[in-house]
Structure 1
Amino acid sequence: MIGNIYIITAIAVIGGALFGFDISSMSAIIGTYQYKCYFNQGPHGPPFTDDPDCSGPHPNVQGGITAAMPGGSFLGAIASGWLSDRLGRKPTIQIGCVIWCIGSIIVCASQNIGMLVVGRFINGISVGICSAQVPVYVSELAPPSKRGRVVGAQQWAITWGILIMYYISYGCSFIKGVAAFRVPWGLQMIPAVCLYVGLIFLPESPRWLAKHDRWEECHNVLTLVHGKGDPNAPFVLLELSEIRQMVEFERQNADASFKELLRPKMLNRLHIGVFTQIWSQLTGMNVMMYYITYLFGMAGLKGNNNLIASSIQYIINVFMTIFALIYIDRWGRRGPLIVGALLMATWMYANAGLMATYGSPAPPGGVDHIPEESWQIHGPASKAVIACTYLFVASYAPTWGPVSWIYPPELYPLRIRSKAVAITTASNWIFNFALSYFVPPAFVNIQWKVYIVFGVFCTAMAIHVFFLFPETSGKTLEDIEEMFQRGMPAWKTHVEHHRVRQAEQGHLGDEEKVGRMGSGSTERNEVAGDTKA
């Protein structure tokens, strides 16, 4: 059994690559004539032809094709909480792998738009399951000082999935005929197979084991991952003690159903987790990913130049995310969210200003007969639009990208963590679905004003985070529970590393260990009194 947290993370976050594969396999393919001719609804079809002037699916239909995946993800994320609590974190993720392979087979074999939508919806169910439960699984295994780094690796896996599949799809675009899109859609099964097999060699979540009274296995996993084989390591004993206290308290005094999330003491936390995921979509980043070829088409890039320029943002996405993996536990959660939102708002407003000032409406039917490319801009201003788009990606990658996956699993107590994260992730996917469907017709109807819409969202989220999102970095999951019970204002919370690192290294004094466990018991006793009252 593998005990190194970085190897565990490397295998588990392959689930994130599934989402990345889906994003870029669509964004790289929707601009190719092979795809547009096979699924053509324009003046040259159906029936389908090899005419290079095929216009492809109508904007509303293309929005539906793209939105099918996040629509399925919403359903998968909701179901994942129940599955994870009943079966365990590992088996639930493995179920997601099997579903992904089924969906990919249908997508690869698609004969018409309806079959393509069904396959993408099934793929979405898998992505919903994995995107909700992989962060829960990794966060419950990781030590506090590394939790942000390893959970944030899910976002890095997404960026790698996007980049790898984009270049595979780009290479396949030179193939004549339907193999241009069937090959990449078939290859996306490979990471799911690797994830399923890799999970066999990983331990189950110690907190899930404790919740099901499998205490010996829980202790063994903590020893394997945190104790370097020593079952009496100070940090192992401290973690085991805190998990035991929390499990016992929750059984005696708390409900573990979805209803608890709507109770006053939990509703604020639910709102924070849900809006973390909603805002991550309303930044406009996934719109940039899905429909980047439309944006660059408006800026005058065509054919291979468009595809290559689009790929640069995927490279930026991969490498800028590295900063989060290195520094996110030092930066915390609040700072990156606020700074990232303000920077992204700046680039959105800049693009809107450039488009409005230097751009003009496209000819009827759009640039190169693509209705979504309803605006055009040329010269130096078009290069500035491309630069602002790259800067937007560079601002998102080390901030909202990883933190939106790291933050929600840290907010909730063990008894409802999987259910709460399932709801927060479902919020991500329902907004992803809405935006995927909304953006193609939005480009047709409101043109450059789309940038204004997302700029306003980015401004609003910066304000929201400052006043209502507390800092969770540097605290154990049990410490975070106590922080919420105290009701400390969000802007007064800060990163705490010193005590946690001492505990992990076995340098925490006996008095401080007792005090720490005692304060936790006191808080829980107070909560128990409130609950019984």
Structure 2
Amino acid sequence: MYKIGNIYYITAISVIGGGLFGFDISSMSAILGTNQYKCYFNQGPVGPPFTDDPECSGPKADVQGGITAAMPGGSFIGALVSGFLTDWLGRKRAIQIGAVIWIIGSMIVCSSQNIGQLVVGRFINGLSVGIESAQVPVYVAELAHPSKRGRVVGAQQWAITWGILIMFYISFGCSYLDGAKAFRVPWGLQALPAAFLLIGLFFLPESPRWLARKDRWEDCEKVLALVHGHGDPNSPFVKRELQEIQEMVEFERRNQDVSYFELFKPHMINRTHIGVFTQIWSQLTGMNVMGNNNLVASSIQYVINVFMTIFALIFIDRWGRRLPLLVGSFFMALWLFINAGLMASYGHPAPPGGVNNVPEESWQISGPPSKAVIACTYLFVASFAPTWGPVSWIYPPELFPLRVRGKAVALCTAANWIMNFALSYFVPPAFVNIQWKVYVVFGVFCVTMFIHVFFCFPETSGKSLEEVEALFQQKIPAWKTRVQYQHVRALEQNRADEKVADIEASPERQVTTGEKPIS
């Protein structure tokens, strides 16, 4: 079968898996406030199912929390399971399995007759999102040239933002339909991208590093030649990349197939903690707070998110990984603290029961200060989009050696989803109980992650995945990794050149090649 070799086309098809996550976010957040949804799944005293009574209250608050949390709960399990799937069947097939699961989940959600069926469908969708979010970055990272890796893996986040934006407008448009069609149509349409992903993956190559680990060296070389050598197996980069993969695989032959426990052994625990906290911190930035602020039109934030992520795709491989994480942490903390200050100084408690009978809207602010809050919210999204948004997907696959990469990234992504699951329960009651102080809590998280990144997160940009392994073995302080590693690499290259020169000049080589000694 014809295989696509252009890394950008490969990425465009693969990151549809990330787009499914975005579709799921909007397909719930844009629909749960509509009368059609509230009345069909109503649990209140007014309005039986199938009515459009504006008094319908919808599912009870705790039940709606369960409906919303079903997806990240499923994603947590899906991410962990993906580690076994990807090592067994390969990166590409694991992603295809995720696409099939998404289609099944979407069919169940679309046909939901009651809340129980809706929860089951969303949980199944979550299994798919967990697999895709864990393995798409691994797959793309293992295919990409080091100079393009950040850009193409970061496209995962861009696909998520596009998924959110597209499904938001689809859901908004469908909200004008009568009855259950208002939510069944968008829930059914979200299966189409997964079908395209499933079919498109048949035309993509498998990860060369996974093929090498399975001793399929001929296929590995063909993929490297296809993606990096324009079909020429004699390309210098292809030969060098193949040699590095061979050396790494031979080194790892001394280790058996690993379990998740391998990630917590002394030689691996440091990078495991970095990868896991990259995903945890991405959830604790406060995007769940600022991104769901009821004072701001959601669609404008989604547009900002899509547009600002483009800068990461263009410049992330120049910026590196540490700089965006540090800059993003600083500015997000700034906007969160400003919002907290504005709320505390110019806001006041809402009436009992919250604004518009929404308990979470427990604090009110009006006039010019409210416009400043909106501006800070926009600036927060603009700070998150080119920094923690894409880098949280780019960074973990770069940290780990081949033998554990599939399971390691699965564990890191599972940490993202379990934190997402926890926040879906924490944030609403937090706004009820401590009101504007929620912004202070997340602002402190941003300051903490700035310190953590500075002292613990090494620079991995521009290095092959095999060279990153050497970076950790050198134990260079994180804040010196870019400069010092370049110096170490230069010394190692000089030693290698001297060794080659010695071999070339040796009498044994002169005899076997018929060369005359140089006097």
Same topology, TM > 0.5: yes
1:454 aligned to 2:442? yes
Aligned to 1:283: 285
Q: Structure 1's 91 and 255: CA in aligned 2 closer, same or farther, altered over 3 A?
A: closer
Q: Structure 1's 512 and 47: CA in aligned 2 closer, same or farther, altered over 3 A?
A: same
Q: Structure 1's 208 and 429: CA in aligned 2 closer, same or farther, altered over 3 A?
A: same
1:459-490 Cα offsets, whole Å, 9 max, x none, are 11111000000000010001000010111110
Q: Structure 2: how far apart are the matches of 1:315 and 1:437?
A: 27
Contact 2:471 2:485 in 1 (8 A): no
- Give the root-mean-square deviation of aligned CA atoms: 2.2
Aligned to 2:202: 200
Query: Once the 2 structures are TM-superposed, how far is the Cα of residue 45 of structure 1 from its aligned partner?
Result: 4.8
Output aligned runs, 1:326-341, within 5 Å.
Answer: 326-341=314-329
Q: Structure 2: how far apart are the matches of 1:517 and 1:444?
A: 68
For structure 1, which segment, 101-110 or 160-169, has the greater mean C-alpha deviation from structure 2 after superposition? 101-110
Aligned to 1:163: 165
Q: Structure 1's 287 and 458: CA in aligned 2 closer, same or farther, altered over 3 A?
A: same
Aligned to 1:480: 468
Query: Once the 2 structures are TM-superposed, how far is the Cα of residue 255 of structure 1 from its aligned partner?
Result: 5.8
Q: Structure 1: how far apart are the matches of 2:457 and 2:497?
A: 27
Q: Structure 1's 490 and 199: CA in aligned 2 closer, same or farther, altered over 3 A?
A: same
Q: Structure 1: how far apart are the matches of 2:193 and 2:485?
A: 35
Contact 1:336 1:399 in 2 (8 A): yes
Query: Once the 2 structures are TM-superposed, how far is the Cα of residue 47 of structure 1 from its aligned partner?
Result: 5.5
1:351 aligned to 2:339? yes
1:508-529 Cα offsets, whole Å, 9 max, x none, are 9x976945999xxxxxxxxxxx
Query: Once the 2 structures are TM-superposed, how far is the Cα of residue 182 of structure 1 from its aligned partner?
Result: 1.1
Where 1:475 maps in the other structure, the secondary structure is: coil
Aligned to 1:264: 266
Contact 2:75 2:130 in 1 (8 A): yes
Q: Which amino acid aligns with 2:312?
A: A
From 122, 130, 138, give the equivalent of 2:140: 138
Give me the identity figure in percent.
Answer: 75
Q: Structure 1: how far apart are the matches of 2:494 and 2:15?
A: 35
Query: Once the 2 structures are TM-superposed, how far is the Cα of residue 256 of structure 1 from its aligned partner?
Result: 2.6
1:41-64 Cα offsets, whole Å, 9 max, x none, are 334255564221333223322222
Contact 2:340 2:439 in 1 (8 A): yes
Aligned to 2:122: 120
Contact 1:55 1:369 in 2 (8 A): no
From 472, 477, 480, give the equivalent of 1:489: 477
Aligned to 2:417: 429
Contact 1:338 1:465 in 2 (8 A): yes
Contact 1:475 1:496 in 2 (8 A): no
Where 2:377 maps in the other structure, the secondary structure is: helix
Where 2:203 maps in the other structure, the secondary structure is: coil
Where 1:41 maps in the other structure, the secondary structure is: coil
Aligned to 2:71: 69
Contact 1:162 1:314 in 2 (8 A): yes
Structure 2: gaps spanning 5 or more residues? 501-519
1:20-45 Cα offsets, whole Å, 9 max, x none, are 00111112112222222222233425
Output aligned runs, 1:385-400, within 5 Å.
Answer: 385-400=373-388
Q: Structure 2: how far apart are the matches of 1:483 and 1:3?
A: 29
Structure 1: gaps spanning 5 or more residues? 300-305, 500-507, 519-533
Q: Structure 2: how far apart are the matches of 1:277 and 1:186?
A: 30
From 313, 330, 334, give the equivalent of 1:342: 330
Q: Structure 2: how far apart are the matches of 1:382 and 1:402?
A: 30
For structure 1, which segment, 87-96 or 21-30, has the greater mean C-alpha deviation from structure 2 after superposition? 21-30
Q: Structure 1's 86 and 254: CA in aligned 2 closer, same or farther, altered over 3 A?
A: closer
Q: Structure 2: how far apart are the matches of 1:80 and 1:216?
A: 26
Q: Which amino acid aligns with 2:399?
A: L
1:385-432 Cα offsets, whole Å, 9 max, x none, are 111111110000000000000000000000000010000000000000
Query: Once the 2 structures are TM-superposed, how far is the Cα of residue 379 of structure 1 from its aligned partner?
Result: 1.4
Contact 2:47 2:53 in 1 (8 A): no
Q: Structure 1: how far apart are the matches of 2:258 and 2:104?
A: 33
Output aligned runs, 1:355-434, within 5 Å.
Answer: 355-434=343-422
Aligned to 2:29: 27
1:278-303 Cα offsets, whole Å, 9 max, x none, are 000011214544xx2xx22xx4xxxx
Larger radius of gyration: 2
For structure 1, which segment, 480-489 or 353-362, has the greater mean C-alpha deviation from structure 2 after superposition? 353-362
Q: Structure 1's 179 and 495: CA in aligned 2 closer, same or farther, altered over 3 A?
A: farther
Contact 2:39 2:49 in 1 (8 A): no
1:325 aligned to 2:313? yes
Q: Structure 1's 20 and 517: CA in aligned 2 closer, same or farther, altered over 3 A?
A: farther
Q: Which amino acid aligns with 1:250?
A: E
Where 1:264 maps in the other structure, the secondary structure is: coil
Aligned length: 496
Q: Which amino acid aligns with 1:37?
A: C
Contact 2:476 2:485 in 1 (8 A): no
Aligned to 1:233: 235
Q: Which amino acid aligns with 1:79?
A: V
Q: Structure 1: how far apart are the matches of 2:90 and 2:335?
A: 42
For structure 1, which segment, 112-121 or 16-25, has the greater mean C-alpha deviation from structure 2 after superposition? 112-121
1:157-186 Cα offsets, whole Å, 9 max, x none, are 001001000000111111121111111111
Contact 1:159 1:317 in 2 (8 A): yes
Q: Structure 2: how far apart are the matches of 1:40 and 1:391?
A: 37
